[in-house]
Structure 1
Amino acid sequence: MRAEIFAYYRRGGETARLTDGAGRLEFLRTWDVLGRVLPAPPARVLDVGGATGVYAAPLTDVGYTVRVVDAVAEHVAAAAEWPGVTAEVGDARALPADAASVDAVLLFGPLYHLLDRADRIRAWREAARVVRPGGVVVAATITRFASLLDGFVKGYLAEPEFGPVVDRVLATGEHRPPEGRWFTTAYFHHPDELPGEVAEADLELDRIVSVEGPLGLVRGLVGDPDWEPEVLARLRQVETEPSLYGASGHLLTVARRSTE
C-alpha cells in the first residue's frame, strides 16, 4: 500500500467514519446486505481490509467465526481486541489463508486502494482461491462520481485545488488529493468495470448493490428515528437498479465461487 494511504489510516481515518451521517448510512446498509447474502452462522468469514473490526465485531456477536486481515498494524491491533475476533497483518493480493478454507470473504477496502487493475484482479483471485465452492465474496468499491457529488454536497468545490482532483477521477478513476485532504489516494470504480473484474477472477456475479444510493446525499435522514427505517426500506427496494449506481457513494458487488 502506498505511503500516503498508510499515513491516512495511521491518523485514525477509520476510527469514527461509520458512526454518523453518511458513514452511518453506509454501515447500516452494508449490514443489511450482509444479513441477506452471507451463509448462516457459524460460517467462517475472512474480513480482508477489515480495519478496526467495525464489521468483524458484530458478525462475531451473532455467531460467525471472523478473521481480519489488514495491511495496517494499528488496525489489526484494534480489531484483535474485540472478543472472538482474530486479526493479522496481511496483503489482499497474497492472503495468509489456505484454499477453500472459509465460507465468505469480505473485501471492504482493498479494491479502492489498489490503483492498478492487475492488482485488483489479484485481490479478487485471492478471495476466490480461499473461499469454498459455493461460498460468497462481497466487495466494496467507491463509485466514479463520488468526489464530484461530495464536491457540491460538502462544499469542497469552493476550494480551487479540488476541481483538478475531480477532473482526474472522472477521466481515469484515480483519486489523488493533496496529502491529508479529502480522503487519500484511491481508485474509484465505474460500475461497468465490476462484472469484468468478477469474471476474470473466475467468480460468478450474483448482484451489484448501491449502498447509500442518492439518499446518501441528503443530510439528516440517518439518526432521525422518524426517517431512518423508511430510508433503509426504500433503499432496499431500489438497491439493484443500475440507473442509480452512479449516484451512490459505494457499491457492494456480491459474487460466488462455482460449485462445479
Structure 2
Amino acid sequence: MPEDSTTTIRPEIINYYAHGYEEADRFAADTASAASMLEFVRIQELLRPWLPPPPAAILDVGGGPGAHARWLMDDGYTVHLVDPVPKHIDQARARGIEASFGDARHLDTPDHTYDAVLLLGPLYHLTERAERIRALNEAARAARPGALVAVAAMNRYSHFLDQAVKHTLANSDVHGVIASTMHGGVYDRPGLGFTTSYFHTAADFRDELTTAGLHTAALHGTEGPGYWILKTIEKRANIRIAIDSAEFASALAAARLADGQQDLLAVTAHLLAITHTADGMPQPQGIKSDG
C-alpha cells in the first residue's frame, strides 16, 4: 500500500497517535501501567491456544508499534504488520518487525494468504458500522480458509468506567458526553483523553462478526473487573503496581474467573473475539465454544 494511505484515516486519529499519545509506552515493561499489562498478558494467554504452530504467517492489522508482533516473532511466527500511522511503522521497523502502511478497510494483501489475522485495534476508531464490516471482511479475505481471525473491540461501558475512576462524572459536560457514548457507542468529542472512537456492546460485536461471515468460537472479556481496581489504585495513589504483586495476581485471577460469564462482559475494558473464516477450526483443549 502506498505510504500516503493515511489520507483515508480521519486526521484527528492520526494526530492523536502521532502527537498526543505514545502508543509504544502502553505495553512497555518500564512504562506501562499494571492495567495495561493486564490487557497485554491476557491477550497472550487468550490467543496462544488458538494460534497455529510456528512458523505460521500472521498478519497484524493495525498493530501499532508492534507490541504483539514482537512477542509473536519471539514465539517463532512470521509476522507482517500494517498500520496507518507513520510513527508506528517507524517504531515497528526499529524493533525488527516487517511493517508497511495500510488501512484495515483496504488491505493490500492477496486473498487467503495468512494462517492467522489479528485485528486488535482498527475497530476502535471506525465509527460507522459499514466501515467496521468492511475491515472484518478484509481480515477474512486475507486469511486462509478456516484460519484464526482474532478481533478486539472496546467495551461500550469502558469509557464510563474510566471516567468513574477519574472522578469526573459529576461534571455536567463529561456526564453528557459519557451518556451519549453509552447510548450510541460513538465518541467524537475531544477533551476526555481519547480520540474519535466506537465502543461495542457484546451483542452488536457478535452481530457484526456474523454479518462479516466470521464464525465466533469464543468471546472473551479481556481484562475482567479487576482492571478497574488496578486503575483506581494507580490513579488515586499515584503509584505503579508491579506485575509480580498480589494486586496484579488478584486482578489476573479475577479476569480468568470472570471469563465465560456473559453478564460480566459489560465490566471489562476490551472484548476479544476468537473467530474463523469457515467451519472446522479445531477446538483448543480446555476452551469451550460460546457459539
TM range (shorter): over 0.9
Deviations 1:73-115 (A, max 9, x none): 11011111122x2000111011111111001111111111000
Kindly indicate whether the alpha-carbon contact (under 8 Å) linking 1:114 and 1:120 is maintained by their aligned counterparts in 2.
yes
SS of 1:194 mapped into structure 2 = helix
Q: Partner residue of 2:26? A: 17
SS of 2:219 mapped into structure 1 = strand
Kindly indicate whether the alpha-carbon contact (under 8 Å) linking 1:48 and 1:92 is maintained by their aligned counterparts in 2.
yes
Q: Partner residue of 1:55? A: 68
Matching residue's letter, 1:244: L
Please give the alpha-carbon distance, in whole angstroms, between the structure 2 residues aligned to 1:22 and 1:165.
Answer: 24
Cα drift, residue 161 of structure 1: 2.8
Kindly indicate whether the alpha-carbon contact (under 8 Å) linking 2:153 and 2:205 is maintained by their aligned counterparts in 1.
no
Kindly indicate whether the alpha-carbon contact (under 8 Å) linking 1:50 and 1:108 is maintained by their aligned counterparts in 2.
yes
Q: Aligned runs of 1:189-204 on 2, under 5 Å?
A: 189-204=200-215
Cα drift, residue 160 of structure 1: 3.8
How has the CA–CA distance of structure 1 residues 135 and 222 changed in structure 2, closer, same or farther, with 3 Å as cutoff? farther
Q: Partner residue of 1:228? A: 248
Cα drift, residue 23 of structure 1: 1.1
Q: Partner residue of 2:196? A: 185
Q: Partner residue of 2:89? A: 76
SS of 1:202 mapped into structure 2 = coil
Cα drift, residue 222 of structure 1: 5.7
Q: Aligned runs of 1:80-91 on 2, under 5 Å?
A: 80-83=93-96, 85-91=97-103
Cα drift, residue 178 of structure 1: 1.8
Please report the TM-score for the alignment, with normalisation by the length of structure 2: 0.84
Q: Partner residue of 1:127? A: 139
Kindly indicate whether the alpha-carbon contact (under 8 Å) linking 1:204 and 1:255 is maintained by their aligned counterparts in 2.
yes
Q: Aligned runs of 1:93-172 on 2, under 5 Å?
A: 93-172=105-184
SS of 1:188 mapped into structure 2 = strand
Q: Partner residue of 2:228? A: 217
Bigger shift: residues 150-159 or 188-197: 150-159
- How many residues align? The count is 258
Bigger shift: residues 205-214 or 169-178: 169-178
Please report the TM-score for the alignment, with normalisation by the length of structure 1: 0.93
Where in structure 2 are there 5+ consecutive unaligned residues?
Answer: 1-8, 234-240, 281-291
Kindly indicate whether the alpha-carbon contact (under 8 Å) linking 1:162 and 1:177 is maintained by their aligned counterparts in 2.
no
Cα drift, residue 141 of structure 1: 0.6
Deviations 1:207-260 (A, max 9, x none): 110011111110256624334344324422331211000100101011001158
Please give the alpha-carbon distance, in whole angstroms, between the structure 1 residues aligned to 2:26 and 2:167.
Answer: 18
Cα RMSD, aligned residues only: 1.7
